[in-house]
Every structure is written in C-alpha cells, then in structure tokens.
C-alpha cells in the first residue's frame, strides 16, 4: 500500500510538472513600431497586424533636434495621418513615440528641459486632437542619453511625468545603458523598452553585423535580470547596406544584397561586395572599389537572441515589439516565423 501511494504521488507530481511546463510562463503580447513620416499602412501591413493579433503600435510622432540658428530644440519630421487610418486604430492602440537627439539634450539646462517637456506633450496632444486619434495612456521617449547628458535628461523626464501623473511614461533603453548602469543611471520613468539591435560599431569595417549579433548581445546583458525597471523588448526585422571607401565609412543605403547590380559588384565575403565601377545606388554616388557590407536581421539570429533574452529577463508580463511595420521588410518573414519568435519568450 505504501509503495502504491508513493507511486501515485510521484505520478501526480510528474503530471503537475508537465502541465506547468506546457503553460506559458509569461504573458507576452506582440507589438510593432511604425517609423515613417506618413501613417498609412497598406493592406499587406494591415493583414500582418491582424494575423498576429497585434493590439499595440508604437508610432513615431516626430523627432526633436537642435536648431543651431535659433539655439532652441526644434520638432522635425512631424507625422501625417493619411486616409484609412481610423479603421486601423479601431483595433490597434497607438503609443506616441518622440525621438530626441542626444545632441539636443546636451544643449539644455534644467529650465529649458522643463520647457521642452511642456512643448513636446502639447504637440503630441495637438496631433492626437487634429487627427481624432484614440486617447493614449502611454508616451514613449526615445533618446540615446549618455553619462554627460543623463542629469538634464532625467530632469526632463521627471518634469514630463509631473505634467500628467496619469500618463504612463516609458523610454527606450540601449544595451550599453544596461551594462554600464552605474554610469548611465536609471531613468525616472514607469518602464523601459530594451532595444536589442544596433549593437555593433556601424562605422568599423571589421564589424560583421552591427544590427544584430547574439554574441555581442551577451556581452552587454549578463546582469539583465537585475535591471530595476520593468522592460518590454524590441527586436529588429530590418536590413541595410554600409558603404566604405578606402577603409572609411561613407554612407548607409536602404538596399538589399539581392538588389545590388550583378554587373557592377563582386562578392568578396559572405556579406561583402566590391564595386567594379562607379555606380549610383539608391541615389548615392558609389565609386569603383567601394566596399559594401550588407547587414540584415536573420531569423536564426533573432531566435538565438530571443532564447538568451528569455533566460535572463525577469519580467512576467511584457510586449515584444518588432521594428518595424513595412511590407518590404515583412515579406522576408512569415507570420509563423514571427509567432515562433514571440513564443520563445513565453
């Protein structure tokens, strides 16, 4: 009888463990960034949102740069909403994103930082009102702040929070801001979004892939589970071509390797090409012997990064945001591919 009860208890424990293993450990919801100056998703992009059951979209409303003439911050590339957007926003909740250059932050003092917070929130609300957008409950600030700018940047964020205490304020977090947290500090906001891309030195000819390198990711995130803010995660889906001349960086082209003219280039490495003659590529004047390094976000690399993140990330409820919603980019990934990536975090 004792042996029977022992076996029964062991079996029930094993069954319970198996059931727990099959249950999601985290509540994960998918999201997309929209990083164009005109909000007008085409049918392909809209269908992708529906297929993935996306209910949240980070939409860049405008940039803020420093105007050397006026010596003041200046809004740039303010978004315009085109026809048909209201139908999309009936089921996708927009989160306004404002990108601020670190140069701009570096030009501010405490008083002008507070003034900038007022101006930004007012412009965001003006865009919402003019376009009759749904009420937003979160605002995201995107800025690659540094040790020298953190003090005034944090003053700006604190004041932005005070302007609307009901508004959830989030910021983007770069990998170096996690690794060197003692120097860069923790922004005074409700949550962060970890940008898991643009992690290598783009301008270094020796870099293999500056967009996404799982090995490079691990160098920065060994203590990710101790980061004090709740974190959502952003993953790349984009690609580009980096142009070098005589070993120096000269430009960045939004052109795929498959679009390079075969009569004008020779492959000199796995993702490297050399121009055989002067050629205009995507409006850029390339010269003979220029080298092009094609960088992309390959599914296998995204999955490797996702596995590592899932193991070192403490949050139990979060968004996984893809950068960004663009039909040309998305054609490389099936809906099933994106679902697999999302599942790696559960």
Cβ-Cβ contacts under 8 Å for 153 (sequence gap 6 or more)? 105, 113, 143, 145, 187
In CATH, the architecture of 25-237+296-343 is Alpha-Beta Barrel (3.20)
Per-residue pLDDT, 8: 47
Q: What is the C-alpha to C-alpha distance for residues 271 and 258, in angstroms, rounded to an integer? A: 11
Per-residue pLDDT, 164: 96
**Residue 113 φ then ψ, to 5°:** -65, -40
Burial pattern 119-135, b for ≥16 Cβ within 10 A else e, equals: ebbebbeebbeeeebee
Residues of the chain with pLDDT under 70: 1-24
Query: Strand pairing partners for 240?
Result: 295
8 Å CB contact between 237 and 324: yes
DSSP state of 96: E
In the chain, which residues fall in CATH 3.20.20.80? Answer: 25-237+296-343
Per-residue pLDDT, 12: 53
Cβ-Cβ contacts under 8 Å for 79 (sequence gap 6 or more)? 36, 37, 38, 39, 59, 60, 61, 62, 127
Q: Tokens in use for 84?
A: 């048909």
Instruction: Look at the chain and count its residues.
Output: 346
Per-residue pLDDT, 84: 80
pLDDT tens-digit readout, 63-112: 999 999 999 999 999 999 997 888 898 899 999 999 999 999 999 999 99
**How many helices, marked H, and strands, marked E, lie in the chain?**
12, 18
Which ranges of the chain does DSSP label H, i.e. alpha helix?
A: 2-22, 43-51, 85-88, 102-106, 110-130, 150-163, 175-179, 181-184, 214-220, 299-312, 327-330, 335-343
Per-residue pLDDT, 19: 40
Q: What is the C-alpha to C-alpha distance for residues 74 and 56, in angstroms, rounded to an integer? A: 28
Q: What is the C-alpha to C-alpha distance for residues 311 and 274, in angstroms, rounded to an integer? A: 40
Per-residue pLDDT, 7: 47
Average pLDDT across the chain, whole number = 92
8 Å CB contact between 98 and 52: no
């Amino acid at each position: 009888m004792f042996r029977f009860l022992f076996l029964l208890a062991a079996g029930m424990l094993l069954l319970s463990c198996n059931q727990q293993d099959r249950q999601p450990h985290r509540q994960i919801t998918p999201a997309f960034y929209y990083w164009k100056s005109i909000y007008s998703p085409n049918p392909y992009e809209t269908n992708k949102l529906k297929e993935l059951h996306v209910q949240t979209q980070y939409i860049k409303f405008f940039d803020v740069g420093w105007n050397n003439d006026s010596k003041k911050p200046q809004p740039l590339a303010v978004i315009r909403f085109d026809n048909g957007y209201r139908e999309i926003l009936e089921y996708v909740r927009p989160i306004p994103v404002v990108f601020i250059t670190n140069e701009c932050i570096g030009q501010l003092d405490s008083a002008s930082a507070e003034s900038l917070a007022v101006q930004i929130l007012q412009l965001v609300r003006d865009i919402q009102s003019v376009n009759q957008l749904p009420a937003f409950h979160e605002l995201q600030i995107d800025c690659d702040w540094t040790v020298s700018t953190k003090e005034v940047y944090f003053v700006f964020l604190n004041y932005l929070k005070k302007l609307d205490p009901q508004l959830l304020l989030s910021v983007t977090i770069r990998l170096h801001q996690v690794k060197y947290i003692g120097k860069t500090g923790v922004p005074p906001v409700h949550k962060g979004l970890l940008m898991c891309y643009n992690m290598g030195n783009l301008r270094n000819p020796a870099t293999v892939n500056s967009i996404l390198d799982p090995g490079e990711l691990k160098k920065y995130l060994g203590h990710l589970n101790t980061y004090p803010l709740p974190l959502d995660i952003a993953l790349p889906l984009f690609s580009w071509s980096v142009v070098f001349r005589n070993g120096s960086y000269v430009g960045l082209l939004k052109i795929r390797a498959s679009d390079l003219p075969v009569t004008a280039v020779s492959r000199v490495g796995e993702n490297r090409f050399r121009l055989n003659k002067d050629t205009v590529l995507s409006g850029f004047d390339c010269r003979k012997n220029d080298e092009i390094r094609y960088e992309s976000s390959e599914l296998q690399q995204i999955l490797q990064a996702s596995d590592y993140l899932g193991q070192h990330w403490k949050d139990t409820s979060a968004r996984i945001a893809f950068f960004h919603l663009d039909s040309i980019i998305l054609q490389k990934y099936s809906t099933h591919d994106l679902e697999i990536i999302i599942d790696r975090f559960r």
